[in-house]
């Protein structure tokens, strides 16, 4: 592949109008065409959540889907995961280096937890990705290492540093030559950026270079799997190529890629991302470009170009810092359908229920609005036509009490001049929404407790069955999220062991941390990465207190039994009892460290034996002196 690119450059094309670029332009055009139908589904789902397209026929537009998603997100992801890194079975078998791998795994666990979870604002990114999955069916995250501005992949949430200011200075310098009437404005902006860089170099502003992970949450319609052999999106990691679409303004394009102008052949779009025609006097800040970053696993290269352009925005390069997997993209999806590429979204399954509920509530409002009393007035009675019309108008429009003076026979009650017609009765059972709510609960596998209200009174058995069903659905989805987090953690670890030096790790975690650079194969074989089960879920304080109340008597009894066994010299039985207690905790998935609660009886016995030996040594000389005196 490198030879092909070099041949194009020899022909005077400089990596521009070559077969490779034409190929990927055709690929993305075809991908956009194939995904157009699904992208319309994405828009329909989003419109159903925020009800941006309210119909006039409906008097009531309830946010039923929005409230359902609001109850699901905190149940699925309540806090950041806890990453576990342990030596693998291969490392454990190497007895000579066992302690080294334990120390290295401990340092790696702390480093990944800090760099990937804490410093990247993972909780906000994961919740946004989760909401995207529930709305559109898929959610995408991109994990990359920020180090060098010129060689890093496209990163939206970069950590601010002076490299951004340097790139801005280069872009402003290019614009200053052809500034025209805006010469003074651009010159002032250039001076401000120069001052920012100088402050960074003196340690008074932003860090000159920031190094760390960047996690971008990508829109569902901006990631494309470019491989026809992939039939389900769950197999995306095996695809030949994955492309990311990024919308960039003309100014940002020139700044990011060091260009003096926008490619003339590139397709240009307006701010609302609709294609417009090229205008020579058009301002670059008003132009949006559709930039593509294609990760080609077959060639091992990354191609960056604007759609329709005849030159690459950046020369194709081979990413140096990747893990065992080539792609930095991670997909979160729940509702897979056999043989279907796109999974179902929760919103798709709820649209009909929300429409039915909105139609029902609109009908109730219509019935309530028009269910007003109707009065009949005889034409030939004592009440004349003018007074009758006044009374009809007042009764129909006035919602407050009003006194009217009318000409009637004072010897007869006024009620004899008009009477109320029968009001049609409303069958409330036809407007009962419980069936809709029950269908929503069955579809989303969530109950009343998750929503914070009781829709229908249930027996204890019914509530327990629904709670078990909800926990089963929540646990299954949390397991999927833990798998994604496990893949991200392993990917991050494999990058860290190659890019972070021992000095950098010491500055982050302290001088006592043990670290060394490894290759990917060694890290993959000798280190095991996992996520603590249930660490992302919301803690159940009531359940934790109840379990602790049940375990406390068992702990106390076992500690006393272990102490008695050790004192009687039955150490093997005491250790067996400890192993049984550890297995019990593991089966209940309790994260309790027994060393914090059970004393080290063996150390106590050794201390007692040493004290007894010292006492005997002190007692023996006294006995010898007494014996010599007796002689």
The larger pLDDT score, comparing residue 183 to residue 210, is at: 210
Q: Each residue of 355-389: pLDDT tens digit?
A: 888 888 888 887 777 777 776 766 656 666 676 67
Q: Average pLDDT in the 434-457 region?
A: 66
What mean pLDDT, rounded, does the chain reach? 76
Smallest CA-to-CA distance from 575 within 556, 549, 547, 598 is with 598
Q: Which residues contact 344 (CB under 8 A, 6 or more apart)?
A: 137, 335, 337
C-alpha of 312 from chain center: 32
> In which element (H, E) is residue 269 found?
strand 268-269
pLDDT-based confidence at residue 438 (cuts at 50, 70, 90): confident
Residue 329's pLDDT is 95
Helix (H, G, I), strand (E, B) or coil at 306: strand
pLDDT-based confidence at residue 28 (cuts at 50, 70, 90): very high
Q: In what order do the strands lie in the sheet with 212-218?
A: 212-218, 139-146, 329-332
Q: Average pLDDT in the 316-342 region?
A: 88
Beta bridge partners of 292: 245, 305
Asked if residue 631 has pLDDT above 60, the reply is no
pLDDT-based confidence at residue 37 (cuts at 50, 70, 90): very high
Asked if residue 313 has pLDDT above 70, the reply is yes
Residue 154's pLDDT is 79
Query: Which two structure tokens, joined as six digits, stand for 56?
Result: 């006039």
Query: Which two structure tokens, joined as six digits, stand for 523?
Result: 């890290």
pLDDT-based confidence at residue 627 (cuts at 50, 70, 90): low
Alpha-carbon torsion 182, 184, 185, 188, what sign?
positive
Smallest CA-to-CA distance from 76 within 117, 115, 128 is with 128
Q: Average pLDDT in the 51-64 region?
A: 73
The larger pLDDT score, comparing residue 570 to residue 501, is at: 501
Q: Each residue of 129-138: pLDDT tens digit?
A: 999 999 999 9
What is the spatial distance between Cα 614 and Cα 152, in angstroms, rounded to a whole number?
67
Residue 14's pLDDT is 44
Q: Which residues contact 10 (CB under 8 A, 6 or more apart)?
A: none
CB 317 within 8 A of CB 294: no
pLDDT-based confidence at residue 225 (cuts at 50, 70, 90): very high
Smallest CA-to-CA distance from 455 within 436, 437, 431, 469 is with 437
pTM higher than the cut 0.75: no
Residue 147's pLDDT is 74
pLDDT-based confidence at residue 543 (cuts at 50, 70, 90): low
Q: Average pLDDT in the 579-608 region?
A: 67
Residue 13's pLDDT is 43
Helix (H, G, I), strand (E, B) or coil at 102: helix
The larger pLDDT score, comparing residue 31 to residue 256, is at: 31
Asked if residue 67 has pLDDT above 50, the reply is yes
Query: Which two structure tokens, joined as six digits, stand for 294?
Result: 């294609």
Which of 15-24, 27-36, 62-71, 252-261 is most confident?
A: 27-36
Distances (CA, A) of 589 to 75, 115, 585, 586: 19, 27, 6, 5
Residue 12's pLDDT is 37
pLDDT-based confidence at residue 293 (cuts at 50, 70, 90): very high
What is the residue extent of each domain of the chain?
160-209, 542-620
pLDDT-based confidence at residue 439 (cuts at 50, 70, 90): confident
Q: Average pLDDT in the 144-158 region?
A: 71
Residue 458's Cβ-count burial label (10 Å; 0-12, 13-18, 19+) is middle
The larger pLDDT score, comparing residue 13 to residue 24, is at: 24
The larger pLDDT score, comparing residue 97 to residue 417, is at: 417
Q: Which residues contact 77 (CB under 8 A, 6 or more apart)?
A: 123, 126, 127, 130, 481, 536
Query: Which two structure tokens, joined as six digits, stand for 271?
Result: 């701010």
pLDDT-based confidence at residue 491 (cuts at 50, 70, 90): very high
Lowest mean pLDDT among 61-65, 410-414, 564-568: 410-414
Q: Average pLDDT in the 493-503 region?
A: 88
Which of 64-73, 157-166, 277-286, 524-533 is most confident?
A: 64-73
Smallest CA-to-CA distance from 303 within 293, 289, 288 is with 293
Residue 256's pLDDT is 81
Residue 10's pLDDT is 40
Residue 518's pLDDT is 78
């Amino acid at each position: 592949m490198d030879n092909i690119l070099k041949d194009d450059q020899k022909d005077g094309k400089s990596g521009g109008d070559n077969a490779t670029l034409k190929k990927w332009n055709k690929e993305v055009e075809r991908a956009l065409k194939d995904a157009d139908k699904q992208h319309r589904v994405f828009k329909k789902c989003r419109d159903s959540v925020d009800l941006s397209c309210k119909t006039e026929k409906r008097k009531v537009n309830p946010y039923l889907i929005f409230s359902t998603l609001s109850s699901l997100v905190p149940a699925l992801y309540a806090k950041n995961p806890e990453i576990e890194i342990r030596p693998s079975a291969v490392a454990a078998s190497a007895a000579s280096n066992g302690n080294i791998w334990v120390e290295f795994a401990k340092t790696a666990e702390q480093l990944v937890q800090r760099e990937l979870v804490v410093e990247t604002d993972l909780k906000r990114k994961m919740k946004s990705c989760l909401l995207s999955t529930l709305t559109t069916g898929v959610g995408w995250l991109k994990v990359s290492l920020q180090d060098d501005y010129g060689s890093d992949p496209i990163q939206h949430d970069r950590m601010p540093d002076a490299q951004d200011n340097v790139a801005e200075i280069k872009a402003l310098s290019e614009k200053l030559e052809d500034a025209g009437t805006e010469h003074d404005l651009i010159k002032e902006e250039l001076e401000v950026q120069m001052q920012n860089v100088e402050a960074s170099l003196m340690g008074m502003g932003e860090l000159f270079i920031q190094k760390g992970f960047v996690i971008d949450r990508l829109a569902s319609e901006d990631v494309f799997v470019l491989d026809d052999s992939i039939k389900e999106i769950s197999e995306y990691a095996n695809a030949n190529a994955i492309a990311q679409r990024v919308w960039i303004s003309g100014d940002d394009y020139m700044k990011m890629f060091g260009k003096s102008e926008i490619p003339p052949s590139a397709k240009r779009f307006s701010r609302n991302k609709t294609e417009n025609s090229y205008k020579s006097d058009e301002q670059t800040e008003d132009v949006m470009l559709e930039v593509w970053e294609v990760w080609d696993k077959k060639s091992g290269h990354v191609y960056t170009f604007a759609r329709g352009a005849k030159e690459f925005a950046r020369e194709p390069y081979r990413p140096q810092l990747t893990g065992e997997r080539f792609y930095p993209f991670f997909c979160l999806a729940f509702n897979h359908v056999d043989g279907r590429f796109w999974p179902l979204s929760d919103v798709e399954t709820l649209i009909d229920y929300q429409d039915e509920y909105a139609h029902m509530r609109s009908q109730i409002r219509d019935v309530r609005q028009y269910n007003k009393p109707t009065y009949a007035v005889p034409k030939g009675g004592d009440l004349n036509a003018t007074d009758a019309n006044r009374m009809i108008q007042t009764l129909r429009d006035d919602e407050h009490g009003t006194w009217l003076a009318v000409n009637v026979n004072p010897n007869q009650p006024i009620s004899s001049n008009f009477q109320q017609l029968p009001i049609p009765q409303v069958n409330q059972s036809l407007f009962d929404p419980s069936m809709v709510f029950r269908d929503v609960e069955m579809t989303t596998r969530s109950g009343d407790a998750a929503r914070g209200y009781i829709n229908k009174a249930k027996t204890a058995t019914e509530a327990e069955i629904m709670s078990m069903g909800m926990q089963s659905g929540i646990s299954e989805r949390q397991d999927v999220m833990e798998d994604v987090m496990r893949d991200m953690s392993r990917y991050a670890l494999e990058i860290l062991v190659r890019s972070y030096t021992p000095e950098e790790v010491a500055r982050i975690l302290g001088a006592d941390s043990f670290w060394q650079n490894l290759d990917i194969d060694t890290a993959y074989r000798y280190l095991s990465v996992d996520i603590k089960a249930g660490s992302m879920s919301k803690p159940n304080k009531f359940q934790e207190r109840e379990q602790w109340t049940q375990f406390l008597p068992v702990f106390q009894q076992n500690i006393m039994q272990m102490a008695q066994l050790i004192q009687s010299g039955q150490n093997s039985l005491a250790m067996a009892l400890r192993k049984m207690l550890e297995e019990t905790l593991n089966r209940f998935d309790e994260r309790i460290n027994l060393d914090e609660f059970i004393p080290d009886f063996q150390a106590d016995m050794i201390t007692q034996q040493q004290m007894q030996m010292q006492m005997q040594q002190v007692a023996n000389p006294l006995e010898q002196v007494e014996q010599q005196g007796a002689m």
